[in-house]
Chains A and B, each alone.
Chain A
Amino acid sequence: MTSGAAEPADCVAANEWICAEYVRTRGPELAEATVQHVWITVTSVGIALLVAFPLALAARRWRAAAGPVLGLTTVLYTIPSLAMFALLLPVLGLSAAVVVTGLVLYSLTLLVRNILAGLAGVPGEAREAARGMGYGPARLLFGVELPLALPGILAGVRIATVSAVSLTTVGAIVGYGGLGNLIYSGMNSLFKPEVLTASALCVVLAVGFDVALLALQRLLTPWTPGRPRRPGGLRARLRGRARLGKAA
């Protein structure tokens, strides 16, 4: 169908999967969707982090709170994304708040678990030493425990962010799905390059966030080795990843 390189615009008309002409002519639309995707993801994980910290600290401080907090976040996590957005619709109306709130609720599960695990992994000796040096509870938390728990917490942030990038696409049902909006409209008009380009950009975004957060972790915790290579390191990593992570 294409008559060589002389007629590059043909691939839009021919509805070909890979089409440079589509990317060139719809640049602004793609950029706008990407920007929406990024701010929905970043806002959601940011808010989730702000909510997860007090929840995790409460669950650690009062044993009685741990069960309900973990149980409730797990139940929320089981609810499929389309149903979650649909349930939030009458409360929040057709707005970006529906998508952001849904993603906050999903990220909470991952973050609360990882913050608790990170804090539980702080060596008792470090805690005792800080207490012996006269550290109060607040200084102990922010000066000793949180920095030591940071690798575990950031691992949770990475999983939550990558999941959020993927789940944001479902927000297209209420019109705030970032790149998902393009997938949705491409689905309705059977426009292949739009669907493939938006999907590929989603994966690029997810990988980009993952790499950036890994770099941030290396920067913030220069004392940890580049790759965890303790005995059973791979197994421990696998176990952590095994159950967590939500795709739909």
Chain B
Amino acid sequence: MGVLAETWAWLTDGAHWSGAGGVWQRLGEHLVLTGLCLAVACAVALPLALWLGHIGRGGALAVNLSNAGRAVPTFAVLVLLTLTPLSEYGMLPTVIALVLFAVPPLLTNAYVGMREADRDVVEAARGMGMSAGQLLWRTELPLAYPFIMTGLRSAAVQIVATATLAALPGGGGLGRLITAGFRLYDTAQVVAGAVLVASLALAVEGLLVLLDRVCDPMRGRTRAARAASPSAPPLKAAL
């Protein structure tokens, strides 16, 4: 397999890693972009979802948002935004596109988590005299936690993937290695870039699974209750 050997040679060549346009720089861009956009998306989506879930409204919004997020091609949105005057502000079009596609999974999952929180438990907490704030922080949030983390995980993976595509209209990030490889007809570089991107996506997913376990407010408590919650992607069919 010539390609495998060439890819290995490309990846083990220190010159490809350092300097301007090297792997380290692209990886840094990718991580900064991912972190920034995930933070912005969380700041936008989570308060809104928690509030809507708390008052029990906006279910249609949650469904339609995740449907729209699936039907609209990310590549199209990235290119459309780069062609607007927004492109004068550097990375802004990319950031907007990444946030737009990270909001639906975050919002939908957090909303569902709030609504799925056992109503009997919430009512009991209310009956114990908890204030609205206590109800939210001490009852609904811990119960909604697995859903919120699932949303965070899909949003993060989504951002890593979209940030890769951002290289097509000229953004930074690891996707640049792939697009540059295509331009140079350098198959080894294309495959090396793809290996790095795939590894990053899997690492982010793995890291968030770990974070999920460590931060779990129900850690070590009632296994039976946890078994019913979708830490893993839910198997339930969408009708």
Contact = CB atoms under 8 A, between A and B. Distances in A.
A123 interface: no
9 cross-chain pairs, A with B, having the tightest CB-CB distances, nearest first: A240-B238, A152-B237, A80-B161, A86-B194, A199-B76, A248-B161, A83-B197, A206-B71, A83-B194
B162 A248 contact: yes
Interface string B96-129: 0000010001001101100110000000000000
Interface string B149-173: 0110010011011101101110000
Given A81-B165, A152-B237, A242 B66 contact: yes
Interface stretch (B13-21, B35-43, B185-193, B216-224): B185-193
Interface string A96-122: 000000000000000001101110110
Q: Which of B116, B158, B233 has the most CB of A within 10 A?
A: B233
Helix, strand, loop or mixed for chain B's interface? helix
A72 interface: no
Contact of B237 (A156, A190, A206): A156
Contacts of B77: 199
A172 interface: yes
B233 to A, nearest CB: 4
Interface in A143-200: 151-153, 155-156, 159, 162-163, 165-167, 169-170, 172-173, 180, 183-184, 186-187, 190, 192, 195-196, 198-199
Contacts of A87: 191, 194-195, 198
B76 A183 contact: yes
A180 B73 CA distance: 9
B8 interface: no
Given A78-B202, A79-B198, A239-B230, A198 B76 contact: yes
Given A87-B194, A90-B191, A248-B74, A113 B235 contact: yes
Interface residues of B, number: 65
Contact of B193 (A83, A170, A203): A83
Nearest to A247: B74
Given A183-B76, A247-B101, A86 B239 contact: no
B213 interface: no
Contacts of A236: 236, 239
A89 interface: yes
A78 B201 contact: yes
A211 B27 CA distance: 41
A6 interface: no
A61 interface: no
A42 B186 CA distance: 31
A83 B198 contact: yes
B187 A234 contact: no
A166 B59 contact: no
Interface string A24-55: 00000000000000000000000000000000
Contact of B3 (A74, A90, A114, A172): A90
A233 B230 CA distance: 17
Nearest to B62: A238
